[in-house]
Structure 1
Amino acid sequence: MTASQPTEREILAFQAICDGFYPPNAVAAAIAQQRTWYDALCRKFDSPHPAGVSAVDRVLAGIGVRHYRPSCDAVGATVLCLHGGGFVVGSLESHDAICAELAGAAAAELVAVDYRLAPEHLHPAASNDGMAVLRALLGEGRRIVLAGDSAGGNLAAGLALRARDEGLSGVVGLVLIYPGLGGDLVSGSYAEMAEAPGLSTSDVAYYRALYGAAEDDPVAHPLRAESLARLPPAYVTVARFDPLRDDGRRFAARLVEAGVDVTFREEPEMVHAWLRARHMSPGARAGFRALAEGLAVLVRR
């Protein structure tokens, strides 16, 4: 077993299943093929909505969204959730079960965004879609917790920066799940975990190039932001065996330096995209429970 591999047998079994649906060299395939493989992978790990959680598709500010409501009376902020997938794959369907379970576990309303994907739509299309939905929800008088995994975490952090810089009030929390935030691709976890299971550093470079953002754009690369002051309280979780690990570590540390209240958690046996393993891996199950609890705290803050 190499230093870039976990030892938990369930997470290794999870990764083997993932590799069977979405090959490690998937980025060499056509975009349409990547999306077909990814959709099949997501269906493999799909699960029914928790009892009482409802979901309704609608259009908000011209953008498709899926609105989840728990069976209990939701109190506090609404979660605005952006899915992962390297800005290239993923959809409302790919993260449906995850969103429903988070809404139920945190007892919160959650709105997932069907943002436009690259390479058909380059940056800032995805961010603009998220911003349009954010403004619409704030216009309804809602308080918002921004959340996202992987590329979705990147979008959530970028939206938090945009909302701050535009003087929008009402964004009260930020949840980042193994986010890619614009690290240098050559040092730290990008070197240590260059060939980690499920996501390699070369994969990150590939997706970043397809996204088409300038390297000095802080909305696309939030670690490049001059200051993280006045961002909302945050929950940041990363995976030990993930080239993106240090992006989350560094962002959380900078938030603390800027005086922002941060809860940081590193999953010691997890790989990128471990959310999908929450029903088969003890480590992922514990990480998901902590994530839901952290989200609930921000929603009710």
Structure 2
Amino acid sequence: MTATPRPVPSPDAVAFLHDPTRPDTSWFGQSLESLRKRHAEEFVWARGEPAPVAGIEQVDAAGVPARLYRPSGAENVTLVWFHGGGWVIGDVDCHDELCRALAADSGCAVLSVEYRRAPEHRYPAAIDDSWTATAWAHEHFDRIAVGGDSAGGNLAAAVAHRARDRGLPLELQLLVYPVTDARADSAPYRAFETHYTGFAGIDGFGTDSHDVIRDIWEQYVPDPARRAERDASPLRAATFAGLAPAFVVLAEHDILRGEGEEYAARLRAAGVPVEVAHYPGQIHGFYPMVGRMADARDAVARSAGALHAALRQRRGLVRGAVRVVGAVTDPRPAGNTP
């Protein structure tokens, strides 16, 4: 039997993980207040030169606070963005540099949503806020897209399903390594624990990743029975037909990679246009780190291109088509089915 090759991180990922000046953002072993503070400090540490935009304003999106970025000042199209952080940490300040870059590169406005976080506000608070802000954007802009990373990708996918069912048109869903299924003890997750032992020289990398997944679901949706609902686990939706086209960004060495691939496959099977950008060697969380990682800058530029085509040129992905960029081929288990 051929031995499974050890996963190889990109040089940028290694440098990021081992930089001694990077704040300690370990999920366990510190208070929630400290975790949120350290997470915010990490984004300040990773910050580069902010992309220029014409205006930034705080808005009340039907009761949901949000920050609106306009690259020229008069955009009539927008991306509604939901930040990552396991529904527990992260905020619009953390994603400020990212949203500036997306707005400047795409020529579209970006509405960054400050949805309510767990554990103070459990499910479905975050998805309800995300939907409310999206509906507000629909009333104030001619065309809209939704997007988010990780837990924010989960919210974007869930909003896309609601939008289809309620007749709210979306031009694109930008899904960055999205959480799509609450089955936190699936076989692929358990395999990730084993395969990623000692990844990038970090003891317990795989186990820690799995433990975080379990904990965020406990924080966000403490009732296991509700985790199967489509708003929590959009991968379990009965049908994907009629959803907005998708641009999906995935990282090779991410415990969420499999379910992101499966989600893209479900979209493709339903005839939804999909473009998948795989980033070999990369880790979960790389996308907003535009000040530290070349792959992040590339992924944001590609995302902005997809947004520009969908929102400003009104010619997005071709229906029924799928394009895969930079596909990874490592043989570790993918998918998130038991």
Provide the secondary structure at the position in 2 that maps to 1:277: coil
Task: Report if aligned partners of 2:9, 2:282 keep a CA contact under 8 Å in 1.
Answer: no
Q: CA deviation at 1:14?
A: 1.1
Alignment pair present for 1:259 and 2:261: no
Task: Report if aligned partners of 2:58, 2:66 keep a CA contact under 8 Å in 1.
Answer: yes
Alignment pair present for 1:163 and 2:163: yes
Q: CA deviation at 1:201?
A: 1.6
Q: List runs of 5+ in structure 2 lacking aligned partners.
A: 200-204, 315-338
* Matched residues, number: 297
Alignment of 1:1-301 (within 5 A): 5-17=7-19, 20-24=22-26, 26-71=27-72, 74=75, 77-165=77-165, 167-182=166-181, 184-187=183-186, 189-194=188-193, 195=196, 200-212=209-221, 214-300=226-312, 301=314
Q: Distance in 1 between matches of 2:185 and 2:102?
A: 34
In the superposition, relative to structure 1, how do residues 85 and 19 fare at CA in structure 2: closer, same or farther (>3 Å)?
A: farther
Task: Report if aligned partners of 1:99, 1:110 keep a CA contact under 8 Å in 2.
Answer: yes
Tell me the amino acid that sits aligned with residue 79 of structure 1. Answer: L
Q: Distance in 2 between matches of 1:93 and 1:255?
A: 32
- 1:249-281 superposed Cα distances (whole Å, 9 cap, x missing partner): 000000000110111111111100112333333
Task: Report if aligned partners of 2:83, 2:91 keep a CA contact under 8 Å in 1.
Answer: yes
In the superposition, relative to structure 1, how do residues 52 and 271 fare at CA in structure 2: closer, same or farther (>3 Å)?
A: same
Task: Report if aligned partners of 1:150, 1:177 keep a CA contact under 8 Å in 2.
Answer: yes
Q: CA deviation at 1:18?
A: 8.6
Task: Report if aligned partners of 1:60, 1:136 keep a CA contact under 8 Å in 2.
Answer: yes
- Identical aligned pairs, as a percentage? 30
Q: CA deviation at 1:9?
A: 1.7
Q: CA deviation at 1:99?
A: 0.5
Aligned to 2:324: none
In the superposition, relative to structure 1, how do residues 264 and 19 fare at CA in structure 2: closer, same or farther (>3 Å)?
A: farther
- TM-score, with structure 1 as normaliser: 0.91
Larger deviation, residues 255-264 vs 133-142: 133-142
Q: Distance in 2 between matches of 1:33 and 1:3?
A: 37
In the superposition, relative to structure 1, how do residues 4 and 285 fare at CA in structure 2: closer, same or farther (>3 Å)?
A: farther
Larger deviation, residues 50-59 vs 261-270: 50-59
Task: Find the structure with the greater CA-based Rg.
Answer: 2
Q: CA deviation at 1:189?
A: 4.7
Tell me the amino acid that sits aligned with residue 90 of structure 1. Answer: G
Q: CA deviation at 1:283?
A: 3.0
- 1:51-107 superposed Cα distances (whole Å, 9 cap, x missing partner): 2442111212011110000137646x3100000000000111010000010000111
Q: Distance in 2 between matches of 1:189 and 1:172?
A: 32
Task: Report if aligned partners of 1:173, 1:298 keep a CA contact under 8 Å in 2.
Answer: yes
Provide the secondary structure at the position in 1 that maps to 2:157: helix
- 1:171-229 superposed Cα distances (whole Å, 9 cap, x missing partner): 22101001111153344652343356597021111111100161211111111111111
In the superposition, relative to structure 1, how do residues 17 and 207 fare at CA in structure 2: closer, same or farther (>3 Å)?
A: farther
Q: Distance in 1 between matches of 2:209 and 2:123?
A: 22
Give RMSD over aligned pairs. Answer: 2.3
Tell me the amino acid that sits aligned with residue 80 of structure 1. Answer: V
In the superposition, relative to structure 1, how do residues 137 and 287 fare at CA in structure 2: closer, same or farther (>3 Å)?
A: closer
Provide the secondary structure at the position in 1 that maps to 2:282: strand
Task: Report if aligned partners of 2:25, 2:42 keep a CA contact under 8 Å in 1.
Answer: no
Provide the secondary structure at the position in 2 that maps to 1:117: coil
- TM-score, with structure 2 as normaliser: 0.81
Task: Report if aligned partners of 1:183, 1:223 keep a CA contact under 8 Å in 2.
Answer: no
Provide the secondary structure at the position in 2 that maps to 1:267: strand
Q: CA deviation at 1:5?
A: 4.7
Q: Distance in 1 between matches of 2:41 and 2:101?
A: 20
In the superposition, relative to structure 1, how do residues 265 and 153 fare at CA in structure 2: closer, same or farther (>3 Å)?
A: same
